[in-house]
Amino acid sequence: SPPLYDHLFSCLSKENLIPCPHPSMVEKGTNLLRKMEINVVEAEKRTGKNTVNMQETYTVYLIETRPAETVPEGGTPATPDTLWRRYSEFELLRTYLLVTYPYIVIPPLPEKRVSDAYLEGKVKNLYKFKFVWHKLSADNLDPDFVERRRGGLENFLLRVASHSVLSNDEIFFHFLTEGWRERVLETGFQDKADSRLKSLSAMFRVKNPDKRFTALKHYCDELNTVISQLLRVRARVADRLYGVYKVHGNYGRVFSEWSAIEKEMGDGLQSAGHHMDTYAASIDDILEEEEHYADQLKEYLFYTDAVRSVCRKHELIQYELEMAAQDLTHKKQQKEELATGTVRVFSLKGMTSKLFGQESQEQRESRLAALEQSIQEGEEAVKEKNTECQEFVRTAWEDIERFKEQKDKDLREALISYAIMQISMCKKGIQVWSNAKECFNKM
């Protein structure tokens, strides 16, 4: 079987339920990943004073890095460097990357808050089937949530580290090693972030966007909708399947009670009952593993936002170009009017001169000169903007192509791993029912 399959299988067969690094990432072999191994290994609760001087509890994550060298047989790997970071720092890093590399599809972070759907799932299970009561916290300290997030954060770091452009970023390197905070603030990216936020939320109409970006945006909208839908339905399917399995557990009890009044049938019934209990219990692990698939889908759900971001940036630059071009045309018209004396375009100066009498030849010539200057500047601006636009389109599209390939590969692998999970579930089912059948035969 191809090495891909084996890798996936080994990922799934470990009791390791966090998203493991995608093969495509490891294969990429960026300079950074060639030098360094990155893991987010732990999570811990901390308390401290926040910005408004109030006590708060938050979670920090331990980032471990070590030189990526092959360890000889029997040798011990080098001790890793470690540091703690909290979620808000990851957010800061991501914002920095967004602002600094607007033409790159920046990998998404895992969810910030415990979502309603996540809670809903837990409450439903509690009511319906009375399983072990988890401490239901509406905040981000819920242990399951923290664990899933840890995996998501590691995934984020590896995505960045495997990107040919992003992996070379200094700030990113310092995030992983030390002393990044001062450095990142030095870049002054905060101002850029603010203006970016403002511009992205602004409404504007672009006349001639690149058709590819328009199509891409449309595709992202569709993908976002369909993955959201898929995640919702999948959760409902899981909920129902849970019900089916758990009810079978009742057979265990009744067979046991029944076996007590039987002679020859007793043993067979009793043993079969145990298998029914096993069957009912097996669903917990099955669904836990399926969460891994849901996480893979979720990552791409969030990725659609990152792609839409790039499209939006293109529109913004294109809009600025169009505005600049429009402005230039306007000025040129003004100059023409001034030169020929006709008024086609409304201007305040023209209006006032109409009302208050012609201006002198001197005034006209100085105005013309000013306009000429302005036009020249305008032409420069348009040229610059045009270059910026073309450059953006070129580099963005390159990354988008890379992203598309990554997406196709990752999602296909996700589907394969999902199919493997289904097969494993079927095998378990066959095993249990075959065991039960053997017991029934002995009745």
Partner 1 sequence: MSVGAPRGLASSGQKPITEILHPLSAAEEPLSPGPDVTVTVGGDKEVALTNGTPMETLSPASASSLFNRLQLDDDLEADGRDLYASMETRDLFVTVDDPKKHVSTMETYITYRVSTKTSRIEFDLPEYCVRRRYQDFDWLRIKLEDSQPTHLIPPLPEKFVMKGVVDRFSEEFVETRMKALDKFLKRVADHPVLSFNPHLNAFLTAKDLNKRQGLALLTKVGESVKHVAGGYKLRARPAEFCAMGEYLDTFSLKLGTIDRIAQRIIKEQSEYLTELREYGTVYSSWAGSEQELRRPLEGVAACVTTCCGALEELSDNMSQDFLPVLREYVLYVESMKNVLRKRDQSQAEYEGRLEAAVLRKQEDRTPIPMEVEKCQDKMECFNADLKADWERWQSNKRQDFKQLLTGMADKNINYYEKCQAAWESLITLLQDRQTEDKTSETN
Q: Tell me if 247 contacts partner 1 by CB under 8 A.
A: yes
Which residues are CB-neighbours of 308 under 8 A, at least 6 positions away? 217, 220, 221
Closest CA to 24 of 421, 420, 413: 413
Q: Tell me if 61 contacts partner 1 by CB under 8 A.
A: no
Stretch 389-408: interaction string toward partner 1, x if CB under 8 A: -------------------x
Q: Tell me if 430 contacts partner 1 by CB under 8 A.
A: yes
Q: Tell me if 54 contacts partner 1 by CB under 8 A.
A: no
Terminal C-alpha separation, the chain: 43
What is the closest distance, in whole angstroms, from the C-beta atom of residue 262 to partner 1 in the complex? 8
Calpha distance 236→234 (Å, rounded): 5
Q: Tell me if 412 contacts partner 1 by CB under 8 A.
A: yes
Which residues are CB-neighbours of 226 under 8 A, at least 6 positions away? none
Q: Tell me if 370 contacts partner 1 by CB under 8 A.
A: no
Q: Which is nearer to partner 1, 104 or 235 (CB)?
A: 235
Q: Tell me if 248 contacts partner 1 by CB under 8 A.
A: yes
Q: Which residue of 5, 139, 147, 387 would you call a contact of partner 1, by CB under 8 A?
A: 5
Q: Which is nearer to partner 1, 105 or 316 (CB)?
A: 105
Calpha distance 255→436 (Å, rounded): 12
Starting from the edge strand earliest in sequence, which strands make up the sheet with 81-86, in order?
A: 36-49, 55-67, 81-86
Calpha distance 388→42 (Å, rounded): 43
Q: Tell me if 234 contacts partner 1 by CB under 8 A.
A: yes
Residue 99: HSE in the Cβ half-sphere, 13 Å Cα cutoff: 22
Q: Tell me if 223 contacts partner 1 by CB under 8 A.
A: yes
Residue spans of alpha helices (H) in 188-210: 189-201
Identify residues 162-221 at the interface with partner 1 (CB under 8 A).
219
Q: Which residue of 9, 129, 302, 440 would you call a contact of partner 1, by CB under 8 A?
A: 440
Q: Tell me if 230 contacts partner 1 by CB under 8 A.
A: yes
Q: Which is nearer to partner 1, 201 or 441 (CB)?
A: 441
Amino acid found at 406: Q
Identify residues 262-281 at the interface with partner 1 (CB under 8 A).
263-265, 268, 272
Which residues are CB-neighbours of 205 under 8 A, at least 6 positions away? 319
Which residues are CB-neighbours of 265 under 8 A, at least 6 positions away? 259, 443
Give the binding-site size for partner 1 (rule: CB under 8 A): 54
Residues near partner 1 (CB under 8 A): 1-2, 4-5, 219, 222-223, 226-227, 229-230, 233-234, 236-237, 239-241, 243-244, 247-248, 250-251, 254, 257-258, 261, 263-265, 268, 272, 408, 411-412, 415-416, 418-420, 422-423, 426-427, 429-430, 433-434, 436-437, 440-441, 443
